[in-house]
């Protein structure tokens, strides 16, 4: 028995997503790059590598991890590069995408040996949450002025556009791509590749993958471009759980159970986006608010139903715990960081990383 807390990545479930991605690649001709910002647990890259074309990144460290641990095609992007990192970034990348014209102008020569692209911001997105909306007013994420972009076309041969956020609606994807074509079509026809970013939930059971693939193929035929997709969440959705143990129960007007983990430290995105964790089957006559062990008053995973009363020592699995969790975990309150374990295709489970007091101590000075 592995000591909780730990993230448990199930390779069979991961393979299911990978097969969908491979299907879309084959039908559409698009290439798929894993977005490391979402998931960078390299112990399963040996499996993912067979189904995906490479990785994309948001920083020097991510592009290096992509090159060293995943291999294949490696894209570099960052909201802004510093003078002290650009040479190393270029040394790890096959393509570099600049976020602004000024970054492109500043670093174009240093990146002359690899393909260069520019991020476009179409000022339309599928996000309803301001914090995550790349098209929010005054957004710094990409350029949108066509005449300005025209003036630097001699220095780039591709674009990146990331405007889908948790978008499970193919119709909305299609309409927004149509708007992008209207606005930037003439520019797109002049480049060799376009990355459509992440945020498209095309590995869901109910997503019309064939219509999606046909739309991508039509786009790439119309403009003569290689399309890239940058799936983060879609690559790893529903592949992983966070395994925790009940440490205490109490009644303060509601049944409360405190577990050996923390939403603030181990599933931070849920807290940021005001979502609750998922527990299955979430049925039964006993309702509990499941709380984390940090001192934060709102360290609450959610309220769930259980068949039996919870008692100290009971195990709970939070579902869908791969995306934006392990890459964001932190040492708040010195709470023990969850280990990382993998369920192999033969059913055996092995721990691939444990975190100790030394890791906590070493993260500070």
CA geometry: angle at 49 spanning 206 and 85, to 5°?
A: 110
- Contact between 9 and 342 under an 8 Å Cβ cutoff? The reply is yes
In whole angstroms, give the CA distance from residue 196 to residue 321. 25
Shortest Cβ distance from residue 122 to ligand PLP (Å)? 13
38 sits near ligand PLP (criterion: CB under 6 A): yes
Q: Does 316 bind ligand PLP (CB under 6 A)?
A: no
Residue 35 binds ligand PLP (CB under 6 A): yes
d(CA 75, CA 67) in angstroms, rounded, equals 9
197 touches ligand PLP (CB under 6 A): yes
Answer yes or no whether residue 198 interacts with ligand PLP by CB under 6 A: yes
Q: Which is nearer to ligand PLP, 54 or 232 (CB)?
A: 232
Our CB check for ligand PLP shows the closer of 200 and 271 to be 200
Q: How far is the CB of 151 from ligand PLP (least distance, A)?
A: 24
Would you say 5 or 199 has its CB closer to ligand PLP? 199
The tokens of 5 are what?
Answer: 């807390």
**Piece in contact with ligand PLP (CB under 6 A), picked from 43-51, 192-200, 292-300, 348-356:** 192-200
Among the listed ranges 182-190, 191-199, 237-245, 325-333, the one in contact with ligand PLP (CB under 6 A) is: 191-199
Structural tokens at position 218: 């039509």
DSSP class of 190: T
Q: Report the residue from 234, 258, 310, 340 that binds ligand PLP according to the rule CB under 6 A.
A: 234
Q: What is the spatial distance between Cα 363 and Cα 355, in angstroms, rounded to a whole number? A: 11
Q: Which is nearer to ligand PLP, 158 or 197 (CB)?
A: 197
* Secondary structure class of 116 (helix, strand, coil): strand
Output 162 or 266, the one with its CB closest to ligand PLP: 162
- Binding range to ligand PLP, per CB under 6 A, among 196-204, 254-262, 271-279, 293-301: 196-204
**Cβ nearer to ligand PLP, comparing 273 with 356:** 273
Q: Which of 10, 53, 62, 230 binds ligand PLP (CB under 6 A)?
A: 230
Contacts with 61 (C-beta within 8 Å, 6 or more apart), sequence order: none
CB of 38 to ligand PLP, least distance (A): 4
Q: State yes or no: residue 232 binds ligand PLP (CB under 6 A).
A: yes
Q: Minimum distance from CB of 255 to ligand PLP (Å)?
A: 34
What's the token pair of residue 12?
Answer: 């069979």
Q: Which residue has the tokens 């490391």?
A: 36
C-alpha to C-alpha distance for 27 and 29, rounded to whole angstroms: 6
Strands 240-251 and 255-259, sheet pairing: antiparallel
277 binds ligand PLP (CB under 6 A): no
- The residue ranges of DSSP E strands in the chain, in sequence order, are 6-10, 31-35, 54-56, 73-78, 95-98, 115-119, 158-160, 193-195, 226-229, 240-251, 255-259, 286-291, 300-306, 315-318, 339-343, 349-353
**CB nearer to ligand PLP: pick between 5 and 142:** 142
Residues 123, 337: Cα–Cα separation, whole Å:
38
Task: Tell whether residue 117 is a contact of ligand PLP (CB under 6 A).
Answer: no
Measuring CA to CA, which residue among 50, 154, 68 is closest to residue 104? 154
Contact between 231 and ligand PLP per CB under 6 A: yes
Q: How far is the CB of 298 from ligand PLP (least distance, A)?
A: 24
Closer of 111 and 234 to ligand PLP (Cβ): 234
* Chain residues that interact with ligand PLP, rule: CB under 6 A: 35, 37-38, 162, 197-199, 230-234
């Amino acid at each position: 028995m592995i000591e909780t807390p730990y993230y448990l990545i199930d390779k069979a479930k991961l393979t299911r997503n990978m097969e969908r991605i491979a299907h879309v690649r084959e039908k559409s001709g698009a290439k798929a790059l894993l977005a490391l910002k979402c998931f960078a647990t390299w112990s399963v890259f040996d499996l993912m590598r067979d189904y995906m074309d490479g990785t994309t990144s948001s920083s020097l460290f991510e592009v290096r991890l992509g090159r060293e641990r995943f291999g294949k095609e490696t894209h570099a992007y960052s909201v802004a590069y510093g003078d002290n990192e650009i040479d190393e970034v270029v040394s790890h990348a096959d393509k570099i995408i600049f976020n602004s014209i000024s970054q492109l102008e500043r670093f174009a020569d240093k990146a002359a040996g690899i393909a260069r692209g520019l991020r476009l911001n179409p000022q339309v997105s599928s996000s309803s949450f301001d914090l995550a909306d790349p098209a929010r007013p005054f957004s710094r994420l990409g350029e949108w002025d066509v005449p300005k972009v025209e003036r630097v076309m001699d220095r780039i041969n591709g674009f990146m556009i990331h405007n889908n956020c948790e978008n499970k609606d193919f119709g909305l994807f299609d309409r927004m791509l149509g708007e992008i074509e209207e606005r930037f079509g003439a520019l797109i026809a002049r480049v060799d590749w376009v990355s459509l970013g992440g945020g498209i939930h095309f590995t869901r059971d109910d997503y019309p993958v064939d219509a999606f693939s046909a739309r991508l193929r039509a786009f790439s035929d119309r403009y003569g471009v290689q399309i890239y997709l940058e799936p983060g969440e879609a690559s790893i959705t529903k592949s992983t759980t966070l395994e925790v143990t009940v440490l205490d129960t109490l009644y303060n007007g509601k049944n409360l159970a405190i577990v050996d983990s923390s939403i603030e430290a181990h599933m931070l995105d849920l807290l940021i986006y005001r979502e609750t964790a998922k527990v299955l089957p979430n049925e039964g006559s006993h309702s509990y608010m499941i709380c984390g062990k940090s001192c934060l008053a709102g360290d609450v995973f959610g309220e769930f139903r259980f068949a039996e009363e919870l008692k100290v020592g009971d195990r709970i699995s939070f579902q869908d715990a791969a995306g934006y969790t392990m890459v964001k975990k932190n040492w708040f309150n010195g709470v023990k960081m969850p280990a990382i374990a993998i369920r192999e295709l033969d059913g055996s489970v092995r721990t691939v990383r444990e975190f100790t007091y030394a890791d906590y101590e070493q993260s500070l000075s």
